[in-house]
Amino acid sequence: MARVNPDPRRYVLTLSCPDTTGIVARITGFLAGLGGWITEAAYHSDPESGRFFTRQAIRADSLPFGAAELRRRFTAIAAELHADHAMVTDTAERKRVVLLVSKQGHCLYDLLSRWHAGEMAVDIPLVISNHATLAPVAGMFGVPFAHVPVPGDDAGKHAAFDRIAQLTDAEAPDAIVLARFMQVVPPELCAAWDGRLINIHHAFLPSFVGGRPYHQAYARGVKMIGATCHYVTAELDSGPIIAQDVIRVDHTDSVDDMVRRGRDIERAVLAHGLQWHLQDRVLRDGLRTVVFR
């Protein structure tokens, strides 16, 4: 009879490497040899890139040692497989998220509500904004708020983003979320936060890049509008996509209607994409992603 497991703690292993035969057997054999109880396993073999991707979750209580030792042993397996990515995380260690916002609060409300309700098992130590508008929202949820104005001149912007980086890095976040932060992040910060900087764009990328995408969509007469959660790179709105969704519109919808209806989909897409990132379900493959949902 299978043992009842009251402890939900898991160790999550992710790996990407050149594809070849025997990878699954090597990883599962490695885990079985340790006594690891696999509770979730996902694999993807990409014929175009010639790469292999996997995510494994195992019961922490099935191993005689902790995450650090598992990480050490898994590193040796990754080296055998010539992996370019190999990671072990412990679900008992709460991830940390810093939120960047401007004046529009729908995504901030949604993320903080999910967090407050226990739907997102993370710590949110700080909200940063270039406006003071949403300070009461952060205060309502008991989250510290930092107001860092971003001037229009280059010198002022540089100083402001230096301050934003200082505040953010002090929290050692696992994700920095642009929850409708209406500023272009400098290339050097995109590089420093690569793989952790996540944006919600209010359009179905790669269509309607940049500002005022609903206005662009209205002018083009589209029949669907969408939202895209993606990793941020130095090229505007072109980073690897994590999550997307759409809703239908028609000729009777004004730009204001599209903006209002689009907010619902922006909230959901950002929440899903962020959750998948925090649960180590997203592996990058160049400009694409493998998402083990």
The residues carrying an active-site annotation are: 237
Strand partners, 177: 99, 198
DSSP sequence for 4-45: P-----EEEEEEEEE--TTHHHHHHHHHHHHT--EEEEEEEE
Name residue 130's amino acid: N
DSSP 182: -
Instruction: From 99, 110, 87, 277, select the one nearest 176 (Cα to Cα).
Output: 99
Strand partners, 229: 200, 243
DSSP 61: G
d(CA 31, CA 16): 17
- Preceding amide of 6 cis, omega within 30: no
d(CA 7, CA 4): 9
